Copies of this chain bind each other. A is one copy, B any other.
Amino acid sequence: METENTLQPIKDVESCIEAIVFAAGYPMPYQKLSEVIGVGVREIKKFCARIAKRYESDSTGLLFLQFPDSCQFCTKEQYGPYIREALNVRRGGNLSSASMEVLAVVAYNQPVTRAFIDAVRGVDSSYAVNSLIDKELIAATGRLDAPGRPLLYGTTEKFLRVFGLSTLDDLPKTETVLPPNTLTDQLAIEVDAKEAPQQEDAED
């Protein structure tokens, strides 16, 4: 942290939660908020309840949703049709930069495990991976013959279509294609072996 920010006033903690949850976009675990802000999980939940109430009652287009372990901003339902109309026409829309990065890793290195994607990006990529699966841009293509038998992911036909490619060979050969050898499959095996069982069950 570059500045000596200490969040003392209660209002500030609420604003900080809002800012983090907004920037994340995806459901943000209370646990994470607690770690980053330095306030107990129980308190965080209380602050969140206040934020949620504020957005519900206020005349705003946003809602602050509280889930058992996480929270998230979303828009009020009645504006759905307007949103759809405003956003759908945008070329290149609705792929986040995180999703685009995961897609790049998968496209140029497929088939890959989740652990491989995480290792290459250096951060947990599970939200982006799931979102790309939902969008049918990547799909499980098999399992790695390694402890935990983690799923392998590759790109789909739809991926080719939305990027205007006929085959994967049409992917531009840039100088910057990821060198797959620095992070070997071994890494994937090591990491997946620990995580795989519970994670993979959830998906099947």
Contacts and interface: CB of A to CB of B under 8 A. Distances in A.
B1 A81 contact: yes
Contact of A20 (B15, B17, B86): B86
Contacts of A124: 88
A130 B11 CA distance: 36
Interface of A: 1-3, 5, 11, 14-20, 22-26, 28, 32-33, 36-37, 59-62, 73, 75-76, 78-79, 81-83, 85-88, 90, 93, 122-124
Given A14-B59, A19-B76, A20-B61, 18 more contacts: A1-B85, A3-B81, A5-B82, A16-B61, A17-B61, A18-B61, A19-B61, A19-B79, A20-B86, A23-B75, A23-B86, A24-B83, A24-B87, A26-B90, A26-B93, A32-B86, A36-B86, A88-B123
Which of A17, A22, A26, A32 lies at the interface centre, i.e. has the most chain B CB atoms within 10 A of its CB? A22
Give how many copies assemble into the complex: 2
Contacts of A2: 81
